[in-house]
Structure 1
Amino acid sequence: MKKINLIVSIFSLVTLLSCTQDLDVISTDSTVKTPEALFSTPEGYKQALAGVYGNLSLTGTGDAGSSFLEGIDAGTSQFGRCLWYLQEMTTDEVVWSYENDEGTAELNRNTWGSSNPILLGFFSRTMAEVAIANDFLRQSAPEKLTSRGITNATDVANINMYRNEVRVLRAYAYYNLMDMFGKAPFYDESSAINSQGPEYNRQQLFTFIESELNAVLPNLKAARTNEYGRVDQGVANMILAKIYLNAEVYIGTPKYTECMTKCSTIITSGYALNTNYLNNFKADNNTSSEIIFALQSDGRVTQNYGATTVIINGQVGSVESNGADFGVGGWGGAFRLRKQFVQKFDGSDYAADVRNTIISGSRPIDITNISTNGQGYVLAKWSNKTVAGVAGSSSNFVDTDFPVFRLADAYLMYAEAQMRKGGAINGGTLANADATSLGYINALRTRAKGVSVGATAVNLDFIIDERARELHWEAFRRQDLIRFGKYTTGYNWAWKGNSLNGTSISDNMKLFPIPANSLKANPNLTQNNGY
């Protein structure tokens, strides 16, 4: 099998209630092992590690509709799907046609509140990742290994490596909570059982994430040397690059030099741009030399309604009925493109750009009614077919992994950080891309068969549009628009603020509200301003 074995026995299901009161979890699967049984052998620790990874791809121990989060639907709590919804559907890139689906209308129209089920699903799933990671770290402490008779030097070294990977996954979870909610209850492996975690603000979360990743970095495997789908130094450096690029948003302090340093490390770590841009989004994209970390998907053994299953089925057009082109049945036009994104590819520079997979046909570009799925153009970027054109193992659940981080993003992050360090500001016309940044930008445009640009054409407005052209539908757009000062005011898109032509929204919406149920569960949490 092409993927890491995502063991369905998400091990902490039987103990999560003792880890945090912020979550109610259940396990009705009799095959889920107790900690005593699971952690009795070195092989059990490898299975448990797969459980920590598995929580990012799976929702429960049963079929695609199962969830171990009590009272939360699997479809509104799958990590990758919720991440994608919150970072993409709330922006200028896409709308979801079926607004009767819980929580989607509020995301489409930027009218969400603290009772939105998708917000609850993402917050709970991400906090579950923290809880599962903490349980692994408790169970793998040196004294635990000794008490269980696990003393072989190789076994101990392997388990210590697993611990370092788990710490990165926990930091990644807190990075997403910091980005989206600006705060979270804090737990680590030393937190008292049945305690209610204190609230950490953005500065505290930033400090934890940064220190945690820097602490484990020297002990992780070098980039591209670990088993596919597992954490290595490239992943940790990419998370650090992300928090440094967004540091002015997160903590009010620029860290562009640090971002450039991390991006340079990533760029020289053995990754290489895939010669074909679209091969990064196909059913065998696990072979791409460009992908740094991905959420795994396998249509046979990880069946769930996760990011790529939703994206690929959703991009099938209601007019085109083109599911066969992508190896799926399709969901009748679930996703369509907002006009403002389509216009990023206007002009002769992008006529032959392979990143431009927009299908217009006889469709109108304007979406005057979100429920009319024949309005608005559709996309053909993602596929459940391999590079050779072979359809995936299922036409319902795809084999395509979701790229969390790609080398191309490191190129664009470096360029942006260098320009901001050199004095470029949001809304400014200063063009100060140096030769290195321009080389990275044009490497992507050359790969895409787009027209190369000169330094005088590259200001920050160019950069954010280029990020849209390169990284659209990859769960960065909301974060990017906020960093560029274009999310709440100054730039509108169709149906922003529940207005056909778009309208400004209040600045508090740069953060999502803490879900009402989470506030009730932990009195230490406070609501974000404006909700």
Structure 2
Amino acid sequence: MKSLYIFILSALLLQLTSCVNDLKVSPIDENVINSANVYNTTADYKEGLAKLYATFAISGQKGPDGMADIEGIDEGFGNYLRQYWNLQELTTDEAVLSWNDATIKDFHWHTWTPTDTFIAAMHSRIMYTVALCNEYIRATSDNENAEIKKFHAEARFLRALAYWHGIDFFGAMPFVTEKDLPGAFFPERIERIDLFNYVESELLVIKEELGAPKFEYGRADQATAGMLLSKLYLNAEVYTGTSRYDDCLTALQPVLSAPYTIPTEYRHNFVSDNHTSPEMIFPITYDGSKTQTWGGIVYLVHAQIGGTMDAKGMFGTGDAWSGLRTTKALVNKFDLDNDYRALFWTDGQNLEIDDIGLFTDGYGITKFRNRKLNGDLSDSNHNVQIDTDWPMFRLSDAYLMYAEAVVRGGSGGSQSQAVDYINVLRTRANAGSISAADLDLPFILDERARELFWEGHRRTDLIRFNQFTDGDYQWPWKGKVKEGIPTASHRDLFPIPSNQLTANPNLKQNVGY
């Protein structure tokens, strides 16, 4: 895979072309594209910003394939969201995948290695997004236009978001900012705690420079920054060794006071018109005609379908890829007769998984659909044409983080408010209310699974609760054993990809690999 330490991305709208030393020069050839001549109007800057958001959603310049952003992997597999989801979900009790693509089953078995192609793609995706954000931040840094200053803050947020994924997956990372001009060089390695501090400082600086909550759907706003800060603080003990639950509750306040609400139907967050859900804080947006990819939400909608189920009738799409399912460990957390969130199906599929490679072993999931909330077909409806947005941050997660921070001893919240928040979610789900006596950490971990399964939170949650590797909680085929066994604790982090170690002598491998 091409090393992303050579930050010369010549085929993009945002060319990484810079000045030499302190000289303020422009190319003589007017056909050479750089930030000095590609940005002439506010609309130009907004189009450049759109590319930064698009790095999370699509895989390249053309869509759904043909001009990939990164090399060395099939473009559909190399999609940012697809890799993020696989690393967060296939490694846990929430998902298995039957396909025989390369090392994909190693995720569920906890047997991945530093040469894993998918892990390398995730690392490259993070650094690719960081590189593009750095160039855009340079291009907007001295602009006094109020709208462009907001774009600048959004680019810094997106870079912080990508670096947070690096903190969570890999710990230490190569570190580059807008101060590092493009060219061939070896980025320095930044320790996990130092990268945490950098991301925190960036978010604290820009949070007031972002737009007000809900100023424009799909763009990072002040509530979005509050969600990411809350995520950092909730996991701070894992990332830095020091708990920050007080700060988590403080960071949640502007989110909880923002004009987001819980809709009456849980499914509203996972259908093709989920942009109308009042609890969507920050999505990765999809439009069937404009953001086409074989990864992302397209992967999730198609791959959860299988068997003889009427795929188009239920999901609003004609192709059933099959392969993605879940384990009994997740299914058994639900009251299947009453909880509306128990979006499982079986059409000959068994609850028990005797063989991950069998498509008939493990219940399917019906969570994400390419139909509207009222049941109508989406506006786009074939193969890569999916309109459903990915709910990266939504209000339910804020409620659950609040409750957890309170239970873990954080000040600035109350147990009664935490119980109220939980019961709002459980009432919507027809799951029955709880009392203060029910609110403890094991309940919260299970409730997060019930509310947020398949939304890319589970691995991080299990690590925070010391249950991902060598804890006392096991699930089917963890450790490549049907009943599940503990695995080595060093797998709480993924390895630094071997190709990155070869490319950059400043990096070093994570302990245990």
Give me the TM-score of the superposition, normalised by structure 2.
0.91
Can you list the C-alpha shifts for 1:426-461, whole angstroms capped at 9, x where unaligned? xxxxxx981010000000000111111111122111
Paired residues of 1:95 and 1:370 also in contact (CA < 8 A): yes
Paired residues of 1:114 and 1:513 also in contact (CA < 8 A): yes
Q: Which one-letter code corresponds to 2:342 in the other structure?
A: N
Q: Which one-letter code corresponds to 1:401 in the other structure?
A: D
The answer to whether the aligner puts 1:522 opposite 2:504 as a matched pair is: yes
Aligned counterpart in structure 1 of residue 289 of structure 2, from 282, 300, 308 = 300
Query: How far off its partner does 1:37 sit?
Result: 3.5
Q: Aligned ranges for residues 201-240 of structure 1 at < 5 Å?
A: 201-225=191-215, 227-240=216-229
**Hey, what does 1:86 align to over in structure 2?**
87
Can you list the C-alpha shifts for 1:464-504, whole angstroms capped at 9, x where unaligned? 00000000000000000000111112111111111111111
Aligned counterpart in structure 2 of residue 11 of structure 1, from 13, 23, 28 = 13
2-structure distance, mates of 1:138, 1:277: 41
Q: Which runs of 5+ in 2 are unaligned?
A: 1-10, 21-30
Q: Are the structure 2 counterparts of residues 453 and 18 from structure 1 closer, same or farther at C-alpha, using a change threshold of 3 Å?
A: farther
1-structure distance, mates of 2:32, 2:482: 49
Query: How far off its partner does 1:76 sit?
Result: 2.5
1-structure distance, mates of 2:32, 2:72: 20
1-structure distance, mates of 2:17, 2:354: 46
Can you list the C-alpha shifts for 1:117-175, whole angstroms capped at 9, x where unaligned? 11111111111110000000112232xx5xxxxxxx6xx22111110110000000100
Query: How far off its partner does 1:311 sit?
Result: 1.0
- Counterpart secondary structure, 1:11: coil
Q: Are the structure 2 counterparts of residues 294 and 32 from structure 1 closer, same or farther at C-alpha, using a change threshold of 3 Å?
A: farther
Paired residues of 1:82 and 1:118 also in contact (CA < 8 A): yes
Q: Which one-letter code corresponds to 2:307 in the other structure?
A: S
Q: Aligned ranges for residues 29-68 of structure 1 at < 5 Å?
A: 34-66=34-66, 67-68=68-69
Q: Aligned ranges for residues 23-34 of structure 1 at < 5 Å?
A: 34=34
Can you list the C-alpha shifts for 1:294-352, whole angstroms capped at 9, x where unaligned? 1111111111023211111111122424343101123342111111111111x4xx522
Paired residues of 1:10 and 1:60 also in contact (CA < 8 A): no
**Hey, what does 1:28 align to over in structure 2?**
none
**Hey, what does 2:423 align to over in structure 1?**
442
**Hey, what does 2:246 align to over in structure 1?**
257
**Hey, what does 2:340 align to over in structure 1?**
354
Q: Which one-letter code corresponds to 1:284 in the other structure?
A: D
**What is the number of residues matched between the two proteins?**
487
Q: Aligned ranges for residues 97-496 of structure 1 at < 5 Å?
A: 97-98=98-99, 100-142=100-142, 156-194=145-183, 195-225=185-215, 227-345=216-334, 347=335, 351-392=337-378, 393-397=380-384, 398-421=386-409, 434-489=415-470, 490-496=472-478
Paired residues of 1:95 and 1:335 also in contact (CA < 8 A): yes
- Counterpart secondary structure, 2:72: coil
Query: How far off its partner does 1:388 sit?
Result: 2.2
Paired residues of 2:171 and 2:191 also in contact (CA < 8 A): yes
- Counterpart secondary structure, 2:57: coil
Paired residues of 1:10 and 1:32 also in contact (CA < 8 A): no
Computed over aligned residues only, the root mean square deviation of the Cα atoms, in angstroms, reads 2.1
Q: Are the structure 2 counterparts of residues 54 and 33 from structure 1 closer, same or farther at C-alpha, using a change threshold of 3 Å?
A: farther
Q: Which runs of 5+ in 1 are unaligned?
A: 1-8, 20-30, 146-152, 424-431
Range 405-414 or range 446-455, more displaced: 446-455
2-structure distance, mates of 1:404, 1:351: 28
1-structure distance, mates of 2:331, 2:325: 10
Q: Which one-letter code corresponds to 1:138 in the other structure?
A: R
Q: Which one-letter code corresponds to 2:258 in the other structure?
A: S
Query: How far off its partner does 1:288 sit?
Result: 1.1
Can you list the C-alpha shifts for 1:210-262, whole angstroms capped at 9, x where unaligned? 1000001121111112x211111011110000000000100011100111112
